C-alpha cells in the first residue's frame, strides 16, 4: 500500500512547519525514553513494562501498534482511487480483534511470560517449539518492518522534499533503536499511546472538515461519492459511483479471481491479527487477564472509530480533490488536509503519519528482540539454564541494534521496489503459522510438539512460497520483481495457506504421541482459565 | 488362552517444558514433566465447578466465534459474488456500504456482550481458587 517507487510528488508549502512538528514529536518521545530508562530496571520492566500498564493505556497502545501508515495513508489512498473496495480492508482490520478478544488474549496473558512462544512451550518440548516460533516471529516482524521503513523513506521524501530517502530511513531506524534499546517496553508503549492520540485527533479533525465541506449533510456527501469524476487512460473523463464494490476485487477486473482473493484477504486479516507477535506481546504489559480483556475492548473502540473515519477522509479525497488531482495514492490524506486546513494542518497530518510509522516500527523491533533473547538465546541455545534475566535483557538490546541495522540496510537496498506485498505476507504468516499453533495448544489436549513444529513450518513456508509465485511478486509489467506469468492467481495466500497450516499441525499430531504434553494439559487449562499462578505486576 | 493385544506403534516424543510451576525454586529446565506436575492444578481440574466453568465458556465462545466468522465472511461473499444485489440503494448509500458498516456495530456489540459474560467467569474462577485448601493462588 505504501508505494516504495513513489512517483515524483508535487512539493507543497509548509515544509518548515512540517519539520518543526516532526522534531517536536521526536523530542517528546526522546524525553519519554529518557524517563523510562531511568525508572525501569529488570527483565519484567524491560520486556513487559513491569506489567503495570492500565487497560485504557494498553488499549491506546494496541491501537497505536496496529494502525500503521499503510492503514492511514494506504487505505485513504485506496478509497480515494478505488472507492468501496478500499473500505473492505477497514472492516477486516476491526473484526480481526474479535478473534484476539475471544480466543487468544486472556489465555496468553494467564499462561505466558514475555512472548507468543511461551504459551506453546508450556506443555510441549520447549526447544524445537521455541526455535520455530522465534523464527516465525522474526520473519513476521522483519518483513513487516521493511515494508514500514521503505514506506517511511518514501513518505518523508514526499512530505519534506529536501530530505533524501537514505537519511529518512536512517533517522527512523536510529529513533526506533533508541526507543527500544534504552526505553524498552515502557518507552515503546508511551510512543504508541501518543501516536494513537495524535492519529485519532488528526483523523477526527480531517473528517469534520470533510463533513463541513458538505454542510454536514450525509446525503450531500454520499451524492458526491456516487459521482466521482475519473480520467480514463484515453483522456476522456467519466463519473463513477465510488460506493459500488468491484473496482479492485471485481470479477471483471481480475480474471474472475477477485472475489476469491477478497475472501482470502479477509481470512488473513481476521485470523492473522491474533497471531501478530507485536500485538500479542502487548497483553503481557497489563497486570492480569481481565485488564488484557478491557484493553482489547478499548482498542476495538478506537480502531473501529478510526476505520469508520476512513470513509470520510478517503471518500472526501475522492470527491473534494478527485483522483486526477492526487499525485501519489498515499498522499491522498495529507493533500486533503492541505486543501481543507491549509499548510499548518498539512504539517500536522504529515507529522501524524511520521509518528504512526515510528510507533509501529518500535513495536516490531521490541517484539523481534524479545523473541530472539527470550526464546532463542535463553531457551534454545542455553536450554534455559545458564542465563540470567540481566543477560536476557542485554541480548535483547543487542538484538534490537542488529534488527534495526538490518532493516535500515534492507530498506535502503529495496527502495526502488514495491514492497507492499510484505504487509500481506506478515499477516499470512501470522494466520497460517502462528494462529494454528496457539489455538491448538490452548484448546486441544492431544496437540503435541510434532504438530506445533510441523504446523509452524508448513504455515510459514506455504505463505512465503505462495506469495513468491503470486501476482504480488510475479507479473509481466515493469514493476514486478519476477518477470513471468504468475503461477498462483491470488494476491493473498490465506485461503490456501491457513487451512494448510491447520491440517499440517493436526496430521503431524495424530501421527505421534506425547503423553507428557497431554498430562500437562490440565495444568495449562487451569492456569489459562483461572489465572492461577499468572505472572504478576512488579512492585513500585 | 490369551491373544496378543494390538499395540499402539505411534512414536512417543519427549516433553521438556520451561515455564516455572507454582512456588517452585528449582530451575524449570532441570525438571521433567512429572516433577513439574502441580497438584493444585490437578485438584482444580477435577473440581466439578471447574468443569462446569469450562463447559459454560465453550458454550459461549464456540457459537460466538461461529457467528462472527459467518457474519464477517458473508460480506466478501456477497460483495464478490452478488455485486448487483449489493448495489441496491438504501437511503443515501447502498446495501454493500450498509452491510460493511454493520460489521463495526456487530464487532462492538459482540465485544460488549463478551465483556459482560466474561466478568461472570472471572467471579467463578476466583471462587474456585478461593475454595482451594492450600490457597494455591499466589
Residue-wise pLDDT tens digits, A226-245? 888 887 777 777 888 888 88
Identity of the highest mean pLDDT range in A133-137, A351-355, B9-13:
A133-137
Q: Any idea which of A325-329, A330-334, A416-420, B53-57 has the lowest mean pLDDT?
A: A416-420
pLDDT in tens, A34-50: 888 887 678 888 888 88
> Contact at 8 Å (CB) between A434 and A480?
no
Q: Which has the minimum average pLDDT: A252-261, A461-470, A518-527, B13-22?
A: B13-22
DSSP state of B12: B
CB contact under 8 A, A297 and B115: yes
pLDDT in tens, A278-314: 999 999 999 889 999 999 999 999 999 999 999 899 9
The residue count of chain A comes to 540
Which is nearest to A141 in space by CA: A414, A429, A373, A405?
A: A429
With 0-12 / 13-18 / 19 or more C-beta atoms within 10 angstroms meaning exposed / middle / buried, residue A197 is middle
Which residues have CB under 8 Å from A500's CB, separation 6+?
Answer: A432, A458, A459, A462
- Average pLDDT over chain B reads 79
B85 at interface of A, judged by CB pairs closer than 8 A: no
Q: Is the pLDDT of residue A7 over 50?
A: no
pLDDT of residue A267: 93
Does position A8 have pLDDT exceeding 60, yes or no? Answer: no
Residue A158 pLDDT > 60: yes
Closest C-alpha to A294, from A60, A533, A124: A60
Contact A449, B13 (CB under 8 A): yes
| CA nearest neighbour of B132 among B28, B17, B50 | B50
pTM for the whole structure:
0.88
Best CA proximity match to A250, nearest among B100, B79, B75: B79
**pLDDT value of residue A105:** 92
CB-based burial label for A102 (10 Å; 0-12, 13-18, 19+): buried
What whole-number percentage of chain A has pLDDT above 70?
Answer: 96
Say if residues A333 and A206 touch (Cβ distance below 8 Å): yes
The alpha-carbon gap from A15 to the nearest alpha carbon of chain B, in Å, equals 37
Chain A contact present for B130, CB below 8 A: no
pLDDT of residue A133: 92
A315 CB within 8 Å of a chain B CB: no
Tell me if residue A474 falls in helix, strand or coil. strand
Of residues A157 and A316, more confidently modeled? A316
Query: A218 in contact with B at a CB cutoff of 8 Å?
Result: yes
- The pLDDT-based confidence of B134 (bands split at 50, 70, 90) is low
Q: Which residues of B touch A519 (CB under 8 A)?
A: 33, 37
Task: Answer for the pair B11, A509: CB distance below 8 angstroms, yes or no.
Answer: no
A387 contacts A241 by C-beta, under 8 angstroms: no
pLDDT level of residue B109 (50, 70, 90 thresholds): very high
User: Which A residues 410-439 touch B at CB under 8 Å?
Assistant: none
Does residue A66 register a pLDDT over 60?
yes
**In this model, does residue A115 exceed pLDDT 80?**
yes
Neighbouring-strand partners of residue B90 = B93
ipTM, interface predicted TM-score of the complex: 0.90
pLDDT at A205: 94
Contacts of B65 in chain A (CB under 8 A): 98-99, 102-103
B68 in reach of chain A (CB within 8 A): yes
Q: Measured between CB atoms, which of B37, B80, B136 is closest to A249?
A: B80
Q: Please, which pLDDT band fits residue B37 given cuts at 50, 70 and 90?
A: low
pLDDT of residue B8: 64
| 3-class DSSP state of A444 | coil
* Percent of chain A whose predicted confidence (pLDDT) is above 90: 35
Residue A469, C-beta contacts closer than 8 angstroms, at least 6 positions apart? A486, A487, A488
CA angle A218/A222/A227 to nearest 5° reads 150
Bridge partners (DSSP) of residue B94 are B89
What pLDDT was estimated at residue A9?
A: 38
Enter the C-alpha cell of residue A496.
490456501
What is the predicted pLDDT for the residue at A390?
A: 81
A269 in Cβ contact with A89 (< 8 Å): yes
Share the mean pLDDT of chain A: 86
Measured between alpha carbons, how far is B106 from A217 in angstroms, rounded to an integer? Answer: 25
Dihedrals phi, psi of A513, to nearest 5 degrees:
-125, 145
d(CA A450, CA A461): 16
**pLDDT for the residue B136:** 44
> Does position B5 have pLDDT exceeding 70, yes or no?
no
Strand partners, A309: none
Average pLDDT rounded to a whole number, residues A1-23:
56
- Report yes or no: B15 at the A interface, CB cutoff 8 Å: yes
Phi, psi of A245 (to 5 degrees): -70, 160
- Residue-range domain boundaries for chain A: 32-530
- CATH number of the domain located at residue range(s) A32-530 in this protein: 1.20.1730.10
pLDDT tens figures, B45-89: 888 888 999 999 999 999 999 999 999 999 999 988 888 888 888
Burial class (CB in 10 A: 0-12, 13-18, 19+), B26: exposed
**Set of cell numbers at residue A124:** 510441549
Whether residue B115 lies within 8 A of chain A, CB to CB, comes out as yes
Q: Which of B80, B82, B112, B116 to mutate to test the interface with A (most CBs of A within 10 A)?
A: B80
Phi, psi of A251 (to 5 degrees): -60, -35
**Which of A88, A94, A222 faces B104 most closely, judged by CB atoms?**
A94
pLDDT at A1 (0 to 100): 35
Amino acid at each position: 500500500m505504501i508505494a516504495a517507487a513513489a512517483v515524483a510528488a508535487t512539493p507543497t508549502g509548509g515544509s518548515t512547519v512540517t519539520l518543526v512538528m516532526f522534531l517536536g514529536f521526536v523530542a517528546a518521545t526522546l524525553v519519554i525514553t529518557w524517563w523510562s530508562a531511568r525508572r525501569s530496571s529488570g527483565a519484567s520492566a524491560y520486556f513487559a513494562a513491569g506489567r503495570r500498564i492500565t487497560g485504557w493505556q494498553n488499549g491506546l497502545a494496541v491501537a497505536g501498534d496496529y494502525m500503521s501508515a499503510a492503514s492511514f495513508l494506504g487505505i485513504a489512498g485506496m478509497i480515494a482511487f478505488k472507492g468501496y473496495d478500499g473500505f473492505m480492508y477497514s472492516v477486516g482490520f476491526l473484526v480481526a480483534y474479535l478473534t484476539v478478544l475471544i480466543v487468544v488474549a486472556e489465555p496468553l496473558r494467564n499462561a505466558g511470560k514475555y512472548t507468543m512462544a511461551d504459551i506453546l512451550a508450556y506443555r510441549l518440548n520447549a526447544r524445537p517449539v521455541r526455535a520455530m516460533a522465534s523464527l516465525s516471529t522474526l520473519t513476521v516482524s522483519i518483513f513487516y518492518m521493511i515494508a514500514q521503513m521503505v514506506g517511511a523513506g518514501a513518505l518523508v521524501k514526499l512530505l519534506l522534499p529536501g530530505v533524501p530517502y537514505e537519511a529518512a530511513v536512517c533517522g527512523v531506524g536510529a529513533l526506533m533503536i533508541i526507543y527500544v534499546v534504552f526505553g524498552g517496553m515502557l518507552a515503546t508503549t508511551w510512543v504508541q499511546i501518543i501516536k494513537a492520540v495524535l492519529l485519532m485527533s488528526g483523523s477526527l479533525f480531517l473528517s469534520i472538515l470533510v463533513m463541513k465541506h458538505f454542510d454536514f449533510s450525509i446525503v450531500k456527501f454520499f451524492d458526491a461519492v456516487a459521482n466521482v469524476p475519473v480520467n480514463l487512460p484515453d483522456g476522456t473523463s467519466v463519473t463513477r459511483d465510488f460506493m459500488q464494490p468491484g473496482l479492485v476485487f471485481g470479477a471483471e477486473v481480475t480474471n474472475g479471481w477477485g472475489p476469491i482473493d477478497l475472501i482470502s484477504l479477509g481470512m488473513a486479516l481476521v485470523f492473522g491479527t491474533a497471531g501478530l507477535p507485536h500485538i500479542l506481546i502487548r497483553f503481557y504489559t497489563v497486570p492480569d487477564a481481565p485488564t488484557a480483556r478491557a484493553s482489547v475492548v478499548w482498542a476495538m473502540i478506537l480502531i473501529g472509530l478510526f476505520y469508520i473515519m476512513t470513509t470520510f477522509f478517503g471518500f472526501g479525497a475522492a470527491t473534494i480533490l478527485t483522483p486526477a488531482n492526487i499525485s501519489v495514492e498515499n498522499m491522498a490524506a495529507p493533500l486533503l488536509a492541505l486543501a481543507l486546513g491549509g499548510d499548518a494542518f498539512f504539517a500536522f497530518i504529515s507529522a501524524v503519519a511520521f509518528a504512526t510509522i515510528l510507533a509501529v516500527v518500535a513495536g516490531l523491533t521490541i517484539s523481534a528482540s524479545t523473541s530472539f533473547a527470550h526464546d532463542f538465546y535463553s531457551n534454545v541455545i542455553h536450554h534455559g539454564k545458564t542465563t540470567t534475566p540481566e543477560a536476557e535483557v542485554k541480548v535483547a538490546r543487542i538484538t534490537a541494534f542488529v534488527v534495526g541495522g538490518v532493516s535500515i540496510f534492507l530498506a535502503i537496498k529495496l527502495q526502488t521496489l514495491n514492497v507492499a506485498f510484505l504487509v500481506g505476507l506478515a499477516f499470512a504468516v501470522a494466520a497460517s503459522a502462528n494462529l494454528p499453533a496457539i489455538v491448538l495448544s490452548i484448546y486441544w489436549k492431544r496437540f503435541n510438539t510434532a504438530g506445533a513444529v510441523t504446523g509452524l513450518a508448513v504455515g510459514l513456508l506455504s505463505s512465503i512460497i505462495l506469495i513468491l509465485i503470486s501476482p504480488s511478486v510475479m507479473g509481466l509489467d515493469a514493476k514486478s520483481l519476477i518477470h513471468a506469468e504468475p503461477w498462483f492467481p491470488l494476491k493473498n495466500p490465506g485461503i490456501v495457506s491457513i487451512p494448510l497450516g491447520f491440517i499440517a499441525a493436526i496430521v503431524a499430531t495424530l501421527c505421534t504421541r506425547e503423553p507428557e504434553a497431554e498430562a500437562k494439559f490440565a495444568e495449562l487449562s487451569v492456569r489459562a482459565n483461572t489465572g492461577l499462578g499468572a505472572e504478576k505486576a512488579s512492585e513500585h | 488362552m490369551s491373544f496378543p493385544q494390538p499395540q499402539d506403534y505411534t512414536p512417543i516424543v519427549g516433553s521438556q517444558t520451561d515455564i516455572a510451576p507454582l512456588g517452585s525454586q528449582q530451575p524449570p529446565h532441570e525438571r521433567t514433566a512429572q516433577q513439574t506436575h502441580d497438584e493444585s492444578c490437578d485438584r482444580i481440574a477435577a473440581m466439578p465447578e471447574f468443569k462446569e466453568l469450562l463447559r459454560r465458556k465453550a458454550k459461549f465462545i464456540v457459537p460466538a466465534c461461529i457467528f462472527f466468522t459467518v457474519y464477517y465472511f458473508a460480506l466478501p461473499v456477497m460483495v464478490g459474488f452478488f455485486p448487483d444485489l449489493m448495489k441496491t440503494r438504501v437511503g443515501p448509500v447502498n446495501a454493500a456500504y450498509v452491510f460493511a458498516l454493520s460489521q463495526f456495530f456487530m464487532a462492538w456489540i459482540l465485544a460488549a456482550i463478551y465483556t459482560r459474560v466474561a466478568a461472570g467467569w472471572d467471579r467463578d474462577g476466583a471462587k474456585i481458587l478461593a475454595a482451594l485448601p492450600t490457597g494455591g493462588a499466589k
